[in-house]
A and B are shown apart, each in its own frame.
Chain A
């Protein structure tokens, strides 16, 4: 440790002398360039843009863009982060570290939502939307009432319950002295017993050996997907396509369509309509979906409608962590929109 302290002390001296080295390399950034990239927010509010948003507005955006992964009430789906609740669990057997129970600063919520969310469509939200989502997350954690509006004006008034429970790394005092003592080399203990075994827990992925080869072979030998039935060229209902495009926004955090579409969390959806399931190259489908595709599942109106209404009900093993589309008319729109990307 003493060596490290010396290094730090030496560096501190240097910091006082970082004058221009004058290599002339690089150029001065324009104010517009700095403004375009300098989006970070600090606990003291530095960086917050002007704006405001309330819980109700936040809920609308939440249900459309966030609940797919984080659940309608920020409770989290599958292994996506739980963002609400968990109060009183930090000293328990299963701590649930949420925005409410754990995060020390509200500025972190604004900063992260603004820079990295929604997953797959980062930095697409306007300041008012980020304020609204932040307000909704406070509400989900019972930290504000449902009529609360958050803005740059009242941002610093919000107190986070766990703010005082973080402290600076203290290993130099609490660990290094204990762990820097002479090590015993002979007759260090009287007996040794095995107390825990990984084999009992049994969570290691795949065993070593030929299993992979076998699986790969099995896939190759699987029956080819049924021939795509001839589709009659039907004219698209453009009004419905436009309606569907709006509803497809909730799909966009995981799926891409159109020119240059790539597989993301979900596969490319170009040509999905009336084609065999699980056939997009390069996407790793769940084994259930791959089996269904190999077994001849065709994404026609009926199948797509059933799947989109409640994906997990339709196919328990699907990787699509999405609550489903409640309104059948919305589903019809999404399908019509997908039809407009035949290739």
Chain B
């Protein structure tokens, strides 16, 4: 009989308890000058055999990572079908968001679309109104691109002041994945856009019938009709079997479960581009078609959900930055609330309209910190403070908040979401 420890899935609580016990043991054994229990004692995984292949035909993260999940803020919406949850940015590193952690925003729940029954139609001001099957789509030349998708409402709850304690909640309406898809331009060329065709309506197959108007210039520039994310089929909650990718522009335009593209000579002014996702300014006027997402960054560690637990000494600050207008060549970091800044170290690929990763390592003396990051994009735009944004847009705006985020870290390493003078 082979002794296995399969099925031993410690809860997060048991894990924490275990860690605490180990810590105590370490102190105890140090007194005995022997060493650490983690080394001196044999662990079950040192001796017993683990699970075999096929235990999980589709692999899942270690049970110790069970707390790394999307979360929602229940008070934001009436219920979960038309709602949002948030990417756990504080648990991630690098630039790619794992598929199962990409935030969700649905207006009529997750449509379960049978790809064999799915069609994409192009109609309106075209030479030929066409219908494609998923199989047809996959016979066009494909491209691979990494792009961030940020909801226009990301950080919207923070517009008037600091509200939510955690970068998952303040900045988690974003993900960054590699898409495989067909350039939208190729499908439009196949149909033949008429000269007066200046706008495109993209429509989803879900129960919200999501629609957005997209200017033809953008449609022909870099939009993709994508069916893969990070190498595998789109997740149902990300629009399986096919979604629109509108690089650098607000997430709502990236229509999921894409089923129709209509070419017209004027925009449609549908609900999500009039009632929603417009920016109400202080004078009662509202900006519409605020498509490109301005440069933005956030420190993901430390942050309220990820305090400093190791005490003073060597400390790593890290975070992410992105711009809807290009790349992020530089991010500045301050630990004293913006009196003095240093350039952070960028690491990982620097791709157009993709998330970028930055680090800043320093020796923490244990005194309170006021942490901020400030992104510079390839156009020369510098991420503004929230006060600078409010000076232009007033207090009633919600969407497109790309202001600088501040975390106050106290001497225990606990971080809080604050605003500073």
User: Which residues of A approach B to under 8 Å, CB–CB?
Assistant: 1-4, 7-8, 10-12, 14-16, 18-23, 25-29, 33-34, 37-44, 46, 69, 78-80, 90-91, 93, 95, 97, 99, 102-105, 107-108, 111-112, 115-116, 119-120, 122-123, 165-171, 174-176, 178-181, 183-189, 191-199, 201, 203-206, 208, 210, 212-214, 264-265, 284, 319, 321
B313-356 at interface with A (beta carbon < 8 Å): 325-326, 332, 336-342
* Chain A residues, CB < 8 A from B275: 97, 99, 102-103, 108
B74-109 at interface with A (beta carbon < 8 Å): 74-82, 107-109
CB pair A201 B268 closer than 8 Å: no
* Chain A residues, CB < 8 A from B197: 15
Contact count band on B: 35 or more
CB pair B165 A170 closer than 8 Å: no
Cross-interface CB contact of B417 among A174, A189, A198, cutoff 8 Å:
A198
Q: What's the Cα separation between A208 and B220 when bound, in Å? A: 46
CB pair B217 A8 closer than 8 Å: yes
* Chain B residues, CB < 8 A from A107: 269
* Chain B residues, CB < 8 A from A22: 190
Is residue B376 within 8 Å, beta carbon to beta carbon, of the partner chain?
Answer: yes
Q: What's the Cα separation between A183 and B283 when bound, in Å? A: 29
CB pair A210 B271 closer than 8 Å: no
What is the CB-to-nearest-CB distance from A11 to chain B, in angstroms, rounded to a whole number? 4
Binding site secondary structure of chain A: loop
What is the CB-to-nearest-CB distance from B360 to chain A, in angstroms, rounded to a whole number? 14
The total number of A-B Cβ pairs within 8 Å is 309
Q: What's the Cα separation between A191 and B78 when bound, in Å? A: 42
Cross-interface CB contact of B396 among A39, A90, A179, cutoff 8 Å:
A90
For B124, give the chain A residue with the smallest CB separation: A38
* Chain A residues, CB < 8 A from B421: 189, 191-195
* Chain B residues, CB < 8 A from A39: 209
* Chain A residues, CB < 8 A from B51: none
CB pair A122 B209 closer than 8 Å: yes
* Chain A residues, CB < 8 A from B201: 40
Is residue B19 within 8 Å, beta carbon to beta carbon, of the partner chain?
Answer: no
A213-B11 in contact given A90-B396, A169-B290, A197-B162 (Cβ < 8 Å): yes
What is the CB-to-nearest-CB distance from B173 to chain A, in angstroms, rounded to a whole number? 15
Task: List 26 A–B pairs whose Cβ atoms lie within 8 Å, in order of A's numbering.
Answer: A4-B379, A8-B217, A15-B197, A23-B190, A27-B130, A34-B121, A34-B123, A37-B121, A40-B201, A42-B266, A91-B283, A99-B275, A108-B275, A119-B81, A122-B108, A165-B286, A166-B287, A169-B291, A192-B339, A194-B418, A196-B418, A198-B417, A203-B163, A204-B73, A204-B164, A213-B11
CB pair A28 B262 closer than 8 Å: no
Q: What's the Cα separation between A8 and B192 when bound, in Å? A: 20
CB pair B418 A205 closer than 8 Å: no
CB pair A7 B131 closer than 8 Å: no
Q: What's the Cα separation between A27 and B128 when bound, in Å? A: 9
B120-169 at interface with A (beta carbon < 8 Å): 121-124, 127-132, 136, 139-140, 161-166, 169
Cross-interface CB contact of B109 among A97, A179, A185, A264, cutoff 8 Å:
A264
Q: What's the Cα separation between A166 and B97 when bound, in Å? A: 36
